[in-house]
């Protein structure tokens, strides 16, 4: 039997370097559940095409990330869609370091095909939020603390009682005005913020999203045909 171990990045904060730190001593490969390459489906295809008969998945989460049930759900979707799939086993919990993997693998369970699908009646309608806040997680913004900005926004929104039906918080790739990192944009107001550290994130929630007044000190001017990113 040819068995392969895959460490799966669960959240946006699952940078390749940290995933490889976990995977390397275990002889594992890496994949991403969202916003990263290779995707979990692509890596499962690659391993299966290479002759793997058993694939073991371990989710790694740094900061905010979906729960382990999402790893099972996505793996099961792939398993049902793939002709003659190998055995796929999913660890019982999420890890942040290589020395935690053995423990979660003790309670690993195989995919059976009976897991929940990717479709739900709860996800049918376009959400009715008033604002969508986009937090840049491109390389420059992440290096300058975009992860902390996102976490601060989430905490401030929760403190104000603003859920997903009020403000939808979304992490993105590069939003382009990189010199102003970390960058946050608020739609549909078309207001862009630069230097959006954790204190500015608090002000965006309190002053803009609750009070209705943009934070002028950190607001970026919009100009037609503005600069591009190298």
CA distance 125 to 144: 35
Positions of the chain with pLDDT under 50: 227-230
Q: Are residues 146 and 99 in the same domain?
A: no
Query: Residue 192 belongs to what domain range?
Result: 131-220
The count of structural domains within the chain is 2
Q: Are residues 78 and 141 in the same domain?
A: no
Q: What is the pLDDT of residue 33?
A: 94
Q: Are residues 77 and 161 in the same domain?
A: no
Written in H, E and C, the secondary structure of the chain is CCEEEEEEECCCCCCHHHHHHHHHHHCCEEEECCCCCCEHHHHHHHHHHCCCCEEEEEEECCCCCCCHHHHHHHHHHHHHHCCCCCEEEEEEEEECCHHHHHHHHCCCEECCCCCCCCCCHHHCCCCCCCEEEEEECCHHHHHCCHHHHHHHHHHHHHHCCCCCCCEEEEEECCCCCHHHCCCEEEECCCEEECCCCHHHHHHHHHHHHHCCCCCHHHEECCCCCCCCCC
Domain assignment of residue 167, yes or no: yes
Helices 40-49 and 68-81: crossing angle, nearest 10°?
Answer: 50
Q: What is the pLDDT of residue 225?
A: 60
Q: Are residues 142 and 80 in the same domain?
A: no
Q: Are residues 74 and 171 in the same domain?
A: no
pTM here? Answer: 0.83
Q: Are residues 104 and 22 in the same domain?
A: yes
Q: Are residues 91 and 25 in the same domain?
A: yes
The alpha carbon of residue 111 and the mean position of all alpha carbons in its chain are separated, in whole angstroms, by 23
Distances (CA, A) of 200 to 3, 141, 171, 216: 48, 14, 17, 11
Q: What is the pLDDT of residue 111?
A: 98
In the block, tokens 């002000």 appear at 203
- Give 220's Cβ-side CA count (13 Å radius): 24
CA distance 86 to 121: 30
Domain assignment of residue 104, yes or no: yes
């Amino acid at each position: 039997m040819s068995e392969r171990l895959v460490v799966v990045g669960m959240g946006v904060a699952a940078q390749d370097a940290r995933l490889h730190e976990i995977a390397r001593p275990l002889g594992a490969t890496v994949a991403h559940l969202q916003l990263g390459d290779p995707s979990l489906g692509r890596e499962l295809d690659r391993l299966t095409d290479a002759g793997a008969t058993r694939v073991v998945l371990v989710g790694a989460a740094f900061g905010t990330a979906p729960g382990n049930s999402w790893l099972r759900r996505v793996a099961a979707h792939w398993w049902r869609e793939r002709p003659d799939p190998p055995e796929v086993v999913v660890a019982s919990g999420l890890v942040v370091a290589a020395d935690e993997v053995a423990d979660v693998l003790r309670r690993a369970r195989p995919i059976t095909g009976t897991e929940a699908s990717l479709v739900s009646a709860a996800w049918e309608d376009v959400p009715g939020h008033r604002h969508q806040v986009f937090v840049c997680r491109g390389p420059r913004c992440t290096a300058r603390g975009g992860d902390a900005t996102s976490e601060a926004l989430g905490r401030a929104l929760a403190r104000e009682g603003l859920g997903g039906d009020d403000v939808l918080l979304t992490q993105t790739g590069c939003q382009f005005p990189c010199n102003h990192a970390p960058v946050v944009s608020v739609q549909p107001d078309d207001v862009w913020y630069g230097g959006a550290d954790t204190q500015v994130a608090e002000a965006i929630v309190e002053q803009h999203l609750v009070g209705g007044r943009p934070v002028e000190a950190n607001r970026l001017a919009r100009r037609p045909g503005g600069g591009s990113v190298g």
